[in-house]
Amino acid sequence: MNASLDQVLQHPGIWRGDQLAQTGEDALPTGFAELDELLPGGGWPRGALTEILVEREGIGELRLLLPALARVSEQSGWQAWVAPPHVPYAPALAAAGVKLKQLLVAQPQSAADAWWTAEQALRSGACSAVLAWLSTPDERRMRRLQLGAESGRAWGILFRSASAAQERSLAALRLRLEATADGLAVHILKRRGGHVSKPVLVDLQQTHGVRRARPSVPPLSVVQLPREAARS
Amino acid sequence: MLWLALHFPSLSLEVFSRGSAAAGPLAVSEKLGNRSCVTACNEAASACGIRPGMPVAAAQALAAALIVRARDPVAEQESLAGLAAWAGRFTPAVSLQLPDGLLLEIGSCLSLHRGLDNLLGQVRSGLSEMGYAFTHACAPTPHGAWLLALAGMETAIRASAQLEQMLAALPVRLLAQPQEILASLEMVGAHTLGDCLRLPRAGVARRFGQALLNELDRALGRLPEAREFFMPPPSFERRLELPAQVHEAEALLFAARRLLPELEGFLNLRQAGVQELELICCHEDVPDTVLKLGFVQPTRAVDRMLLLLRETLGRTRLSAPVHTIMLNARHIVPLAASSADMFQDGVEEGDVNLLLERLRIRLGKEAVHGIAPAADHRPEQASRHCEAGDDAASPGNLQRPLWLLPKPLPCQEGQLALKTGPERIESGWWDGRDVARDYYVAQGRNGSRLWVYCDRVSGAWFVHGLFA
């Protein structure tokens, strides 16, 4: 290709089909190289919503975010956890490098309050990351959150159940997580700049110490729970 | 020295009217002998033909909807003190000119406010926000400035020679002298201050008293004038009577907006901030409603208070209409002014404290918190709620799950593959919540990683956490 044409193609206004979208906002590296490659800007989008669809709790949905959350802490950014389903456990978060000093947990009583809280946290510009567990989404609420994330330049993360995969969504990035024998499979359902068909396998052990300790030890024992174990 | 004189010509009226945006005909009356006369009236009343000096009965005959209030000198004085407190934002040298004026020494703080025009602009917008009409004038002497402001000459004079020229044209009735003296000055043909100054001094002193000469000399700067400066009271308490009873939050907010600038000025004068603010809404027959505003950090920013007030009012049900509001700041704490940033002007960082305050108003105080690790082996006790933003540095524990179930779940039937463990935790015999458990990391069939334990007393298995 000749040099002048190459130069023209470098223009930021020109988008080529095989490129990822250029985002205006800087992205937040996920801490997983294989995932960063596939995400526009090379990481989690700031100033936009990320939806994480989880089939079952406890498969690594938080561990996937931990490196980025720790980085947010490093940059002295606040993070808000809105309506978490369980107790965010301080010792584990501190061990992962999240500064608890800049962590805010809000436990609203009603769904409407939870949506309001998430929107306020995103919009305030005070929180770099907002993690929210919200029920009964509709388009109007989602749009408000998206606008809030844009104006507050925050990374908004919504956790939803995998059954929502078929629904239309305003989120800039949608991931579905699936536990497999080889690790966590991340299906990118939607991203800015083209479709990805193949899931990416993420090795969570590289970040979290629980697994790093003994990666390939066979199970100690298999117990039949609860009655058999209790009686023996 | 440069003095800014502010004259509030309709203060007696505004103490009653400024609590509301709607203006019906309103007049203030005073008892002269055994009949009461209108001493001031607002525009709506003037439009009906009511004039100051008119008997109240005649005025009421002209406008049926006219509200007549007896003049309240105490409220006027309180308002003036409030205004003096508000003026504390411009200069620490604020002096009261009773009954309806303020004198501010601004010569020393002009560069802080980037020039006289800028300062006057701030004065103008601040006073209109609080609902006061005013005239102003600047002069090198306080009394000279005051006479010019009384005459309604909105000028700024810096040179003494110019001051004499301006003052010479003012009528003698502006002087603070007894009526007889002013009348006899008029009789000898001295209608202006210039006429007085041209009269022989010795004769003037003999016929009209030394006080007249002294006043003229003070105005011209020939005699020094020692003014007493306003000292703010130790705490802020202001009440504002509303012209009509209200029950909408918007009307209350409007009234509170009238008082908040005074509070800000007061706090500026005292170099202080408030952490707790009380707005008391007084009702006719039922007990007063007390709204409390709590701030995460001491503040003196009106915007912030207004924002929280709006949200608090929006969530409050008033039991009855409100006739008076009171704004109290009992405890003030020292707060140094923040210096403006030279380079980062305009870039607004989000304010976490503001977010926390707003969330707390709507969700309640307990629903918004931070978390911190605690030095305890028992998993339930090792994480505690704390004030968001509290510093609790701790290395943490790598062997712990990210989610802790508030109540351990008995294990469902099925197989769990135990991966690591056991980790034995026995502790807490001293407070009755003792635990004796063996903890394991287990792999659920669906790929989830669980933190399970076997209770060593009952032998039962529970899930206590998720390595999410």
pLDDT tens digit sequence for A211-232? 333 334 444 444 444 444 434 3
CB spacing of A92 vs B402 below 8 angstroms: yes
What's the CA gap between B26 and B55, in Å, rounded? 14
Is residue B394 left, alpha or beta, with left meaning phi > 0 and alpha meaning psi from -120 to 50? beta
Token representation of residue B246? 């209200």
Taking residues B97-125, report their average pLDDT: 86
Binning pLDDT at 50, 70 and 90, where does residue A2 land? confident
CB spacing of A58 vs B443 below 8 angstroms: no
Amino acid symbol at A41 = G
What pLDDT does residue B309 have?
Answer: 86
- Angle at alpha carbon of residue B366, lines to B257 and B303, rounded to 5°: 20
What pLDDT does residue B173 have?
Answer: 83
pLDDT: is B159 or B441 the higher one?
Answer: B441
Which residues, numbered 312 to 371 in chain B, qualify as contacts with chain A under a Cβ-Cβ cut-off of 8 Å? 348-352, 354-356, 358-359, 362-364, 367-371
What's the CA gap between B452 and B443, in Å, rounded? 10
CB spacing of B466 vs A55 below 8 angstroms: no
What pLDDT does residue A115 have?
Answer: 92
What pLDDT does residue B385 have?
Answer: 87
Beta-carbon neighbour count of residue B195 at 10 Å?
A: 16
Question: Are the CB atoms for B400 and A107 separated by under 8 Å?
Answer: no
CB spacing of A126 vs B354 below 8 angstroms: yes
What pLDDT does residue A114 have?
Answer: 92
The CATH architecture annotation of domain A59-157+200-223 reads: 3-Layer(aba) Sandwich (3.40)
- Interval B237-248: pLDDT, tens: 888 888 788 888
pLDDT surpassing 70 at residue A17: no
Token representation of residue B213? 């000469």
Shortest alpha-carbon distance between residue B433 and chain A (Å): 19
The partner residue sitting opposite B368, judged by closest CB among A104, A209, A219, is A104
What pLDDT does residue A226 have?
Answer: 47
Taking residues B15-22, report their average pLDDT: 78
For the whole model, what pTM was predicted? 0.65
The CATH architecture annotation of domain B236-334 reads: 2-Layer Sandwich (3.30)
Taking residues B95-105, report their average pLDDT: 87
pLDDT surpassing 90 at residue B115: no
Q: Which of B86, B68, B94, B97 lies closest to B8 in space, CA to CA?
A: B97
What's the CA gap between A165 and A3, in Å, rounded? 44
- Interval B298-322: pLDDT, tens: 888 888 888 888 888 888 888 888 8
pLDDT surpassing 80 at residue A20: no
How long is chain B?
468
Chain A hits for B417, Cβ within 8 Å: 219, 222
pLDDT surpassing 80 at residue B278: yes
Binning pLDDT at 50, 70 and 90, where does residue B160 land? confident
- Interval A126-142: pLDDT, tens: 889 999 998 888 888 88
Chain A hits for B393, Cβ within 8 Å: 101
What pLDDT does residue A117 have?
Answer: 93
Q: Which residues of A58-79 are buried (b: 16+ CB within 10 A; e: fewer)?
A: bbbbbbbbbbbbbbbbeeebbb
Task: Return residue ranges of chain B for CATH 3.30.1490.100.
Answer: 236-334
- Interval A154-213: pLDDT, tens: 899 999 988 888 888 888 899 998 888 788 888 888 888 777 778 888 887 755 433 333
pLDDT surpassing 70 at residue B332: yes
CB spacing of B419 vs A229 below 8 angstroms: no
Chains A–B, number of C-beta pairs less than 8 Å apart: 230
- Interval A31-68: pLDDT, tens: 888 888 888 888 898 888 999 998 888 888 898 999 99
What pLDDT does residue A130 have?
Answer: 94
- Interval B372-422: pLDDT, tens: 888 888 888 888 888 887 776 777 777 888 999 988 888 865 667 888 878
- Chain B: residue whose CA lies nearest to A177: B447
So what's the ipTM on this one? Answer: 0.77
What pLDDT does residue B344 have?
Answer: 47
- Interval B48-99: pLDDT, tens: 888 888 888 888 888 778 888 888 888 888 888 888 888 888 888 888 888 8
Taking residues A92-112, report their average pLDDT: 89
CB spacing of B461 vs A102 below 8 angstroms: no
Taking residues B94-116, report their average pLDDT: 86
Chain B hits for A133, Cβ within 8 Å: none
The partner residue sitting opposite A113, judged by closest CB among B362, B385, B402, is B362
The partner residue sitting opposite B395, judged by closest CB among A66, A95, A120, is A95
Q: Show Cβ contacts of residue B282 under 8 Å, excluding neighbours closer than 6 positions.
A: B288, B322, B323, B324, B325, B326
